Amino acid sequence: MERYEIVKDIGSGNFGVARLVRDKLTRELYAVKFIERGHKIEEHVQREILNHRSLKHPNIVRFKEVLLTPTHLAIVMEYAAGGELFGRICNAGRFSEDEARFFFQQLISGVSYCHSMQICHRDLKLENTLLDGSTAPRVKICDFGYSKSLLHSQPKSTVGTPAYIAPEVLSKKQYDGKIADVWSCGVTLYVMIVGAYPFENPEDPRNFRKTIGRILSVQYSVPDYVRVSIECRHLLSHIFVANPEERINIPEIKSHPWFLKNLPMEMMEGGSWQCNDVNNPSQSVEEVLSIIQEARKPLNVPNASRHLIGSSSMDVDDYEAYVEDIETSGDFVLPNMSN
């Protein structure tokens, strides 16, 4: 970390805290995710690093390198100066349909690329969708802590953030991670347009049991005060389908009339964003694995992680126990975005 100087803390995510740093030589800004060395360096962390390392796309935060400090593993990546898409929608209340489409097109472009690389994200949400600092912000998907490489196995565990979870993910059976990602993209689109979560009970937003019930029964509606085109409603109705085999997939979304409207030239088939460019990071897979292995060794440093903040996502095998735990502990309370 000698070549970087810390500028400020910029937040927290799955398994660690993030800081803004500046390269002392180039003066470029980067985001660095710090994860305490030792037992916290588990399979999720290795998966995040290796999956993220393999991706190169305009709508995905670029991976740079991994480094070791005396107490932490540091993941260096592109800095998205525009912050979270979540913050933008909270400030605006909700987006116009055209603005929502502008961001949704980019989200689908990035997710489509991930799927083409046989990686499903499994925790897509507004908080994991960043923006660069440009006037017409470019979407940057981040946080691959729960992503799953389809080259190894089909996803089975219940992962993700409650408001965005697809019905089939709530089961303990194998599911198609790509189709589950589609559902999460649909939730993101709905929130951008309506300014509230689709399956949250508006009269009792903190009742997680009701939220799950509404997800499983696909119980949602677009409020009368929100003007949404027939084409957009049609797309949402084909995303929010309980049976994943009947749900619209990414290629079908990309050919949907609502999606195609005002689609930027570079995002069209054959455009400059369509090249499946392989990332060429400075470190080989062997180097990365060696650093991760070293980071796994336990440290005799007290309170090395006292500043780390816990994850807002979940990995739960027992569904009923999970729901009971949620209701008794108060965890995973969803913000009421309609206020």
- Which residues are designated catalytic? 123
Please, what sign has the CA dihedral across residues 209, 214, 215, 216?
positive
Contacts by residues 126-130 (CB-CB < 8 Å, ≥ 24 positions apart): 126/84, 126/85, 126/86, 126/89, 126/188, 126/191, 126/192, 127/84, 127/86, 127/161, 127/312, 128/13, 129/84, 129/85, 129/86, 129/103, 129/188, 130/61, 130/80, 130/82, 130/83, 130/84, 130/85
Residue with tokens 């990602």: 181
How far apart CA 71 and CA 164 sit, in angstroms, is 34
Q: 297 a known binding residue?
A: no
The one-letter code for the residue type at 186 is G
Residue with tokens 């460019």: 277
The one-letter code for the residue type at 103 is F
What's the token pair of residue 225? 């005060």
3-state secondary structure of 269: coil
Do 77 and 56 meet the contact criterion of CB atoms below 8 Å apart? no
Residue with tokens 């005799």: 300
Do 139 and 95 meet the contact criterion of CB atoms below 8 Å apart? no
Do 124 and 14 meet the contact criterion of CB atoms below 8 Å apart? no
Residue 60's beta-bridge partner residues? 141
Binding-site positions: 33
Binding-site positions for ATP: 33
